[in-house]
Chain A
Amino acid sequence: MDASRNLYAILGVPPEATADDIREAYRLMARRFHPDANPNEGAALQFRDIVTAYDILSDPGERLRYDEARRALRSEPTPFSLRVMPSKRVLSALAEPQVLYLLLEIMPPRQAGAAQRRTAPLNLTLVLDRSTSMRGARLDKVKIAAHNIIEQLSAQDVISIVTFSDRAEVLIPATTVTDKTSLCAAVSIMSAGGGTEIYHGLAAGIAECRRHLAPRMVNHVILLTDGRTFGDEERCLELAREAAAEGIGISAMGIGEEWNDQFLDALAAATGGTSAYIQSPKAVLQFLDERVRSLGNAFAERLQLTVAPDADVVLESAFRLQPTPQPIDVSPQPIQLGTLEKSRPITVLIQLQMPPSIKTGFRTVARLDVTGDVLWSERQQHKGISDISVEIAQNPQPEEPPMAILDALGKLTLYRMQQKAEQALNDGRVQDASRQLENLATRLLAAGHEELAQKAIIEARRVSHTHALSQEGRKSLKFQTRQLLALPMPESDKR
């Protein structure tokens, strides 16, 4: 019997609950999350867990066995904790719908950083673009970056390197990092030539990563490209989803202006990875170094979030703020969140819409469910659940939203404005796009980001004249507004 999951928490009852309590709790949960009553995707996933929990806890014999198995696990400390902050604790009873934000923090245990000095064992695959356009400074910097990574790794780690152009070649088959000299030599012989077909490279990379796939390792593929792949994007995303299901994360990095950022974002979002835009070849080093360091700081891997709103609540969007800012899709669920580092929480900002005409009193809003594999834990999958409730009142006292939410949302708003301008342009609404960019410039200026504001103004003018954004301007606005959300890495994590 799998005793690692806290079935009592899933049903929302204390461990000493009577059979009646359990039945009543199940009835309430079914009313909230049964697919007939609740159309939300996350609710269906939650309900599946609830049925499993009820099946065991409602059977006296099964419950006894579960309790015993659970007692044996008790000695383990809580691996990670959830903290959820709503934008308002008391909502006004209104005839119209209203928006509620939740800031979710998934926190590693406080002592994790100090107790585990060693880094997490990595199973790392680099998938490197060697198409003709990479020739020169780009490829040189990529080689140096790869050398640096090899130098950083130790004998507990596994590395593989795949290069691709029109086809893929396995430069270094998955191997433990023992003979660094010959690994570096293999990287040095890379040469540029050919087109860009990401699918082949990605498929070969994932295959290499899979060879050493281990639940107690950080299994990650880093894709680096400067080009646009044609016709195989859908297949790549399919591949990414399969990889995520197996426990492989993908981070993607685009160099220069040609590559498709939406595609790389989707690739990272599907697997809990990170995507980034690199303007100069020099920045390759920094990005790869940070990525590998972040993975090495892993406390838990393969974090997944399920957001199950109550039947009348709508889940509108979610955005991962930390450890690296990344837009995430709320469908399909569970949502992949990637790596939980030892000394940095994962934070996610969730936007919900509450229904009109809610009754006064306390009510539930949503359930958040997080699972993840703790790398050094005896047992693998850990789970945390948080049920969010708010109070509804007639004319409540005005309430200042929490600083953390205001701050994060303020920056996220900038990023979203850029996205809206792009959307407007794609829909052919040129004036809207130009106005959005001007608004963005105003807000950036007000927030003290003069250089970015200038870029936004230039792009606003360009849009009204040429009905298009420049590739460079579009990407730097997008990724630099996104980067505003990033917090600096804690000093203690720097090697």
Chain B
Amino acid sequence: MKTCPYCGFDNREGVLYCEECGHPFYSQKDAVETTQLSQDAHEGFKGRMTWGTARFEEGALLVIRIRDVPEPITIEPVRDIIIGRRDPLGGDPPDLDLSPYGAAELGVSRRHALIRRGEDTLTLVDLESTNGTFLNGQRLLPHQPRVLRDGDEVRMGRFVLNLFFK
């Protein structure tokens, strides 16, 4: 059996695209691109090639690394975590406020996305953000939850986060 990392549907073995949501199980790009890329070209793509586990157990911690910020943020996601930036004019601040890291300049919305705790999983939901939320380079549709995996790269506008499970 092959469980779709995108929608969780259980496909039969041998299926090449998820029969429920069409998610490709094999990357066509990998097979097409035969040109040898320089080592630099691979920088910043780490974590996209390998899929980590989607299992997020009780009591596990989520480590959020922000590009160019040495100290990671560690949280225990027991409830919904809204990611965004604090509005200087007031209003409820998001649970994870990215404004200290230049969020406004990089196009993060005030309520940009949220991380939701599911049973043994975490999902990422875009909250109709202005500049969009991208999971491993793929744009999310608003309000459509996507399962997160250890090592995933999340981009909000031009703001890049890497998520690790601990």
A403 at the interface (CB under 8 A from B): yes
7 contacts between A and B (CB under 8 A): A91-B14, A98-B14, A99-B14, A406-B28, A406-B31, A413-B22, A442-B21
Partner of A457, one of B15, B21, B23, B141: B141
Residue from the list B13, B16, B31 in contact with A409, Cβ < 8 A: B16
Q: Which of A39-47, A222-230, A266-274, A433-441 contacts B (4 or more CB under 8 A)?
A: A433-441
Please name 8 further chain A to chain B contacts, defined as beta carbons within 8 Å, in addition to the given A409-B16, A439-B22, sorted by A numbering: A88-B14, A92-B13, A97-B13, A403-B31, A406-B26, A439-B21, A442-B144, A443-B21
| CB contact between A98 and one of B12, B20, B140 (< 8 Å): that residue | B12
Contact B16 A101 (CB under 8 A): yes
**Is A29 located at the chain interface by the 8 A CB criterion?**
no
Task: Name the prevailing secondary structure of the B interface residues.
Answer: loop
Contact A409 B141 (CB under 8 A): no
Bound-state Cα–Cα, A477 to B140, Å: 21
Bound Cα distance from A94 to B31, whole angstroms = 26
Closest 6 CB pairs of A and B: A99-B14, A98-B13, A98-B14, A439-B21, A413-B17, A443-B22
Contact flags (1/0) for B28-60 with A, using CB distance below 8 Å? Answer: 100110000000000000000000000000000
Contacts of A445 in B (CB 8 A): 139
Nearest CB in chain B: distance from A68 CB, A: 47
Contact across chains for B22 and A99 when beta carbons are under 8 A apart:
no
Shortest Cβ distance from residue A208 to the other chain B in the assembled complex, whole angstroms: 44
Contact (Cβ within 8 A) A407 B22 = no
A87 within 8 A of B: yes
Which A residues touch B144, using CB under 8 A? 438, 442
Asked if A15 CB lies within 8 Å of chain B CBs, one says no
Residue from B23, B31, B139, B140 within 8 A of A400 (CB atoms)? B31
Docked complex Cα distance between A100 and B16 (Å): 9
Name B13's contact: one of A94, A403, A405 (CB within 8 Å): A94
Alpha-carbon gap, A101 to B15, bound state (A):
9
Query: Is A154 located at the chain interface by the 8 A CB criterion?
Result: no
From B7, B26, B138, B141, give the contact of A401 (CB < 8 A): B26
B28 and chain A: residue at smallest CB distance? A406
Interface centre among B21, B22, B24, B141 (most CB of A within 10 A): B22
* Interface residue? B1 (CB, 8 A): yes
What residues on A are CB-neighbors of B17 within 8 Å? 409-410, 413
- Smallest CB gap from A441: residue in B: B141
- Residues in chain B within 8 A of chain A (CB atoms): 1, 7, 12-17, 20-24, 26, 28, 31-32, 138-141, 144
Closest to A405 in B: B16
Please tell me the number of chain A residues within 8 Å of chain B, measured between CB atoms: 33
Instruction: Kindly report which residue of chain B lies nearest to residue A460, judged by CB atoms.
Output: B141
In whole Å, how far is A360's beta carbon from the nearest beta carbon of chain B?
16
Which residues of A320-367 have CB atoms within 8 Å of chain B's CB atoms? Answer: 353-354
Contact A97:B141 (CB < 8 A) given known A400-B26, A439-B7, A439-B22 = no
Contacts of B14 in A (CB 8 A): 87-88, 91, 98-101, 354
Considering the chains assembled together, what is the distance between the CA atoms of A442 and B22 in angstroms? 9
Given contacts A403-B31, A407-B28, contact A440 B13 (CB under 8 A): no
Tell me if A114 is interfacial: C-beta within 8 Å of chain B: no
Min distance, Cβ A417 to any Cβ of chain B, angstroms: 5
Q: How far is the CA of A490 from the CA of B31 in the complex (A)?
A: 25
Q: Bound complex: CA of A403 vs CA of B13, how far in Å?
A: 18
How close is A470's CB to chain B, nearest CB, in angstroms? Answer: 20
Point out the residues of chain B lying under 8 angstroms from A115, CB to CB.
none
Question: Which A residues lie within 8 Å of B24 (CB)?
Answer: 406, 410
A413 to B12, CA, bound (A): 15
Q: Which residues of chain B are near A442, meaning CB under 8 Å?
A: 21-22, 138-141, 144
Contact A87 B16 (CB under 8 A): yes
Q: In the complex, A445→B137 CA distance in Å?
A: 12
The CA-CA distance from A98 to B20 in the complex, in Å, is 16
In this assembly, does A446 line the interface, its C-beta being within 8 Å of a C-beta of chain B?
Answer: yes
Bound together, the chains give a CA A91 to CA B14 distance in angstroms of 9
Within 8 A of B (CB), among A393-409: 400-401, 403, 405-407, 409
